[in-house]
């Protein structure tokens, strides 16, 4: 069994991934195309890997946990904060094949990296935006789903404003070196909030990032 197949087996056995479309997307998108050349042999290791600008591509199991929590639909319009390598956006775009992904990235040197990785992978329903995603991205709003792949001190009000009624946010929330994964659903008169375990992500920068 390849390392990639091992991961899939583990996710199915443990029930971490129930949505078969996520497994299909994971099979289809080559993670090799999103990691640095030096890390090619680690592309399917279940840990984060360094990319450019001191940032990381998240651990595969963590990505899957977040995508599962988002309950993605084929037609969803999704906002990602933290494009990084573009890998997570590629997975979302594959599941949301009739939808669209806006992915913001604040570190300039990652913009071309993400864009060219996505192009290489043949993904054309993602737009990479060089902006401060802590303010969301008003032009594409309202969103069905919002996902942050960086640690947030709290969920910025603007993200809630830019989320549709019935929409879901998945984001690691907490202090800089220890976050809880939060899944939040916006309903008519309240926010349904669940937590999904402890994680450590690179920090959210920008206006609503850490002090």
The answer to whether 115 contacts ligand SAH (rule: CB under 6 A) is: no
Asked if residues 129 and 102 have their Cβ atoms less than 8 Å apart, the reply is: yes
The answer to whether 92 contacts ligand SAH (rule: CB under 6 A) is: no
Q: Which is nearer to ligand SAH, 119 or 166 (CB)?
A: 119
Contact set for ligand SAH, span 137-166 (CB under 6 A): 149-150
DSSP-derived secondary structure letter, 208: T
Q: What one-character-per-residue DSSP string does 98-122 give? A: TSEEEEEE--THHHHHHHHHHHHTT
The answer to whether 209 contacts ligand SAH (rule: CB under 6 A) is: yes
Among 94, 100, 102, 105, binds ligand SAH (CB under 6 A): 105
Contact set for ligand SAH, span 2-41 (CB under 6 A): none
Among 33, 78, 96, 132, binds ligand SAH (CB under 6 A): 132
Among 7, 22, 72, 82, binds ligand SAH (CB under 6 A): 82
| Binding range to ligand SAH, per CB under 6 A, among 13-21, 99-107, 155-163, 174-182 | 99-107
Is 58 considered catalytic here?
yes
CA atoms within 13 A on the CB side of 115: 11
Give the residue among 92, 70, 64, 58 at the shortest CA–CA distance from 184. Answer: 70
Per-residue tokens: 10: 């583990």
Q: What is the dihedral of CA 191, 192, 198, 200, to 10 degrees?
A: -30
Exposure letters 163-187 (e unless 16+ CB within 10 A, then b): beeebbbbbbbbeeeebebbbbbbe
The residue assigned the tokens 């993200």 is 159
Closest approach of ligand SAH to the CB of residue 195, in Å: 20
Give the residues lining the site for ligand SAH (CB under 6 A): 55-58, 81-82, 84-85, 87-88, 104-107, 110, 132-134, 149-150, 202, 204-206, 209
Residues tagged active-site: 58
């Amino acid at each position: 069994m390849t390392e990639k197949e091992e991961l899939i087996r583990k996710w199915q056995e443990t029930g971490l991934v129930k949505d078969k479309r996520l497994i299909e997307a994971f099979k289809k998108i080559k993670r090799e195309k999103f990691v640095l050349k030096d890390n090619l042999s680690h592309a399917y290791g279940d840990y984060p890997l360094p990319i450019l600008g001191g940032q990381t591509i998240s651990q595969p199991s963590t990505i899957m946990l977040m995508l599962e929590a988002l309950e993605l639909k084929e037609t969803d319009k999704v906002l990602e904060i933290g494009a990084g390598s573009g890998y997570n956006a590629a997975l979302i775009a594959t599941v949301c094949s009739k939808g669209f992904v806006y992915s913001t990235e604040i570190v300039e040197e990652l913009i071309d990296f993400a864009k060219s990785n996505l192009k290489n992978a043949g993904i054309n329903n993602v737009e990479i935006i060089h902006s401060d995603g802590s303010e969301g991205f008003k032009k594409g709003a309202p969103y069905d789903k919002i996902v942050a792949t960086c640690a947030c001190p709290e969920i910025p009000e603007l993200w809630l404003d830019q989320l549709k009624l019935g929409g879901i946010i998945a984001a690691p929330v907490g202090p800089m070196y220890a976050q809880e994964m939060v899944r939040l659903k916006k309903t008519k008169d309240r926010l349904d909030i669940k937590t999904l375990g402890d994680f450590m992500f690179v920090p959210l920068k920008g206006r609503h990032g850490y002090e």
